[in-house]
């Protein structure tokens, strides 16, 4: 699965934006407030599908106080979140504009296509929808409360191959609920390297029978620069990383950063990876039969997709990427 089009309306630093024809590698011009806002918008879109993802989004955009756990109402997908501070959200909006919408168009992979095609016998309209190409367009709406301490979320649009389906929770067909659940882990936003958690994360995958091939792929990504990298138990049973049986830290912080980014690509069960800052090698993770990713969004100064707001000129801003 990968995203072929995005439309965003409402954020302070990205009041209106649209891009179509997105390819497997999307280079976004930045860093800039607009580029960050685009990443935040995609994260909010997928946060509307999962309470844990929404909580990470609220932490990232600095709406939560240290140690605060937001109140999230999920049925099962989040419909509302609230927090204590009433001032933090003010910097994210233009006065009087509390709403935002995020729309994405998805090109389905075979497992997701089967999820929909299995419903065709019970949903006659799905037959014609699949025949039209089976692209999926979804829109999430978000509205900040006037008190600035709560956010409501709504799935406002769901379309398959040009056929619209009901989105209200009490009207959604069972197949849609299943489809939405399958999207939860398909998107990942790379985190900065964390020496305290990365080794344990790697070890969990290395010891998993089902996920061991992902660990092997992660090792392969580091082999040329650092040799055979693996987790081991150190003093007190604390996991740490070895490179050819010596501590990886010997290679400096750049080695940890590369190992962490490779973990985001190989060890996370995602198709789409957003990286706010990364070297060009990450783009190669979408190539070949054994590639771990379907799509990479990468912020870089030479990016072809420029989300910088323009005051004159109509929507949409177009990305000249090749249609696939």
In angstroms, the CA 27 to CA 300 distance is 7
| Domain limits, the chain | 2-186+270-300, 198-266
Per the CB < 8 A criterion, the answer to whether 80 and 72 are in contact is yes
Q: Is 60 exceeded by the pLDDT of residue 318? A: no
**pLDDT tens per residue across span 105-134:** 999 888 888 878 887 667 778 777 777 566
Residue 133: φ, ψ to 5°: 125, -15
pTM of the model: 0.90
Burial of 151 (0-12, 13-18, 19+ CB in 10 A): buried
Q: At what angle do helices 212-226 and 253-266 cross, to 10 degrees?
A: 150
- Span 28-56, average pLDDT: 96
Between the alpha carbon of residue 129 and those of residues 116, 164, 175, the distances in Å are 10, 9, 14
Query: Which helix (H) or strand (E) element contains residue 28?
Result: strand 25-29
Predicted confidence (pLDDT) at residue 314 exceeds the cutoff of 70: no
- Express each pLDDT in 210-248 by its tens digit: 999 999 999 999 999 999 999 999 999 999 999 999 999
pLDDT in tens, 254-272: 999 999 999 999 999 999 9
> In terms of CATH architecture, what is 2-186+270-300?
3-Layer(aba) Sandwich (3.40)
3-class SS letters over 115-155? HHHCCCCCCHHHHHHHHCCCCEEEEEEEEECCCCCEEEEEE
* Residue 313 pLDDT > 50: no
């Amino acid at each position: 699965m990968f995203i072929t089009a995005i439309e965003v309306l409402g954020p302070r630093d990205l009041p209106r934006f649209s891009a179509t024809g997105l390819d497997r590698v999307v280079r976004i011009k930045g860093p800039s407030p607009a580029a960050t806002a685009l990443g935040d918008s995609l994260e909010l879109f997928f946060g509307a599908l999962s309470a844990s993802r929404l909580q990470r989004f609220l932490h990232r955009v600095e709406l939560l106080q240290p140690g605060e756990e937001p109140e999230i109402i999920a049925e099962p997908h989040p419909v509302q979140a609230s927090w204590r501070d009433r001032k933090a959200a003010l910097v994210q909006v233009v006065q009087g504009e509390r709403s935002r919408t995020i729309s994405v168009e998805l090109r389905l992979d075979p497992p997701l296509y089967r999820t929909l095609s299995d419903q065709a016998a019970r949903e006659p309209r799905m037959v014609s929808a699949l025949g039209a190409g089976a692209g999926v367009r979804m829109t999430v709406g978000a509205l900040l409360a006037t008190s600035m301490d709560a956010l409501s979320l709504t799935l406002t649009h769901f379309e398959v191959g040009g056929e619209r389906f009901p989105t209200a929770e009490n009207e959604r067909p069972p197949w849609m609920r299943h489809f939405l659940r399958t999207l939860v882990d398909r998107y990942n936003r790379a985190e900065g390297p964390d020496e305290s958690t990365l080794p344990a994360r790697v070890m969990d995958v290395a010891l998993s029978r089902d996920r061991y091939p992902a660990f092997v792929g992660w090792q392969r990504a580091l082999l040329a620069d650092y040799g055979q990298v693996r987790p081991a138990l150190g003093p007190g049973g604390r996991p740490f990383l070895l490179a050819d049986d010596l501590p990886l830290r010997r290679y400096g912080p750049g080695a940890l950063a590369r190992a962490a980014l490779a973990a985001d690509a190989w060890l996370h069960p995602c198709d789409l990876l957003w990286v706010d800052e990364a070297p060009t090698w990450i783009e190669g993770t979408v190539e070949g039969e054994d590639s771990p990713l379907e799509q990479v969004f990468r912020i870089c100064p030479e990016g072809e997709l420029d989300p910088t707001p323009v005051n004159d000129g109509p929507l949409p801003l177009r990305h000249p990427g090749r249609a696939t």
